[in-house]
Structure 1
Amino acid sequence: MPKGGRRATPWYEEGEEPDYRFSLANERTFLAWFRTGLALIAAALAVAQFVPPHARGTAGAVLGAVLAVVGSLLCAVAWFRWRAVQRAMRHQRPLPRTRMPPVLAAGAAVAGLGLLLLIVRAS
């Protein structure tokens, strides 16, 4: 507890309450990023479980790992992004920039190349 025995105000009670439509839009964006992260994790599981071991090899392990890492990071980063946007709206500041789209695109490109390697190796 800070000096004086008073608790610090939690971030979600700072500033002014934003218009609920903006808060709900921010929440929908968070859920979309989170869903995408979960889909990437599910794809990693699918690679690990359903691609035959003889075809999987190193390329399958790398593909599964990339999918799992990018999906997990996306889920975590989505929370921090949601919180930063909420805080910016509460204090009437510009919305923070994000690097998520290019990171997600790079992860998907690497996963696509890994899938191509799996297909070539299996045939």
Structure 2
Amino acid sequence: MSWRDRRPTHEVGTDPDYRFTLANERTFLAWFRTGLALLAGAIALASLVHDFGPRPMRMTIIVILLVLSLTVVVGAYVRWDRTERALRENRSLPRDPLPKLIVAGAAIVVIAAAVLVFLAESGL
């Protein structure tokens, strides 16, 4: 079934225990907050830290943060929808690549930030 042909989530299956639906919603909101925090980090780096390391490197980190932010926000909704449908249809919960993506992206940002700090401290 294609994305366009899918029925709205509330029309699929039967209502699960409301506690599971609310837990799924809280998880969605936690992922959404993470996406907003990544966005805030990108904006802070772009607007507040102009003389910290080489500009191309700062721009690379900003772009990575923005891409991660968009991935997490969109992924949060997709994850919520897939989980809600599985709950409503009494199926096993789907596997989700979002945690691996965010860890990989965050690791890249941390390494790049460490290089920026090193360059700034060494005066290069």
Give the TM-score normalised by the residue count of structure 2: 0.87
Counterparts of 1:90-105 in structure 2 under 5 Å? 90-105=88-103
Alpha-carbon distance in 1 for matches of 2:52, 2:24? 44
Residue of structure 2 in register with 1:42 after alignment: 40
Q: CA deviation at 1:55?
A: 2.4
Where does the alignment leave 5 or more consecutive residues of structure 1 unmatched?
Answer: 1-7
Residue 26 of structure 2 aligns with an amino acid whose one-letter code is R
Q: Summarize the Cα distance change of 1:88–1:54 in structure 2 as closer, same or farther, 3 Å threshold.
A: closer
* 1:64-113 residue CA offsets vs partner (Å, 9 max, x unmatched): 11011001110001001100000011110101000111110001001101
% identity of equivalent residues? 42
Q: Output the CA distance in 2 between the equivalents of 1:57 and 1:15.
A: 52
Residue in structure 2 matching 1:25, options 3, 23, 26: 23
How many angstroms apart in 1 are the aligned matches of 2:11 and 2:37? Answer: 33
Q: Does the 8 A contact of 1:33 with 1:74 survive in 2?
A: yes
Deviations 1:33-90 (A, max 9, x none): 0100110011011111111246241110000110110011100010011000000111
- Structure of larger gyration radius: 1
Post-superposition shift, 1:116? 1.0
1:46-61 pair list within 5 angstroms: 46-53=44-51, 55-61=53-59
Amino acid across the alignment from 1:69: V
Which stretch has the larger CA shift, 30-39 or 55-64?
A: 55-64
Matched to 1:101, the amino acid is P
Higher helix share: 1
Separation (CA, whole Å) in 2 of partners of 1:47 and 1:75: 20
Following TM superposition, by how much is the alpha carbon of 1:13 offset from its aligned partner in structure 2, in angstroms? 1.5
Structure 2: gaps of 5 or more residues: 1-5
Contact kept? 1:16, 1:91, Cα under 8 Å: yes
TM-score (norm. length: structure 1) = 0.88
Deviates more, 1:36-45 or 1:111-120: 111-120
Partner of 1:120: 118
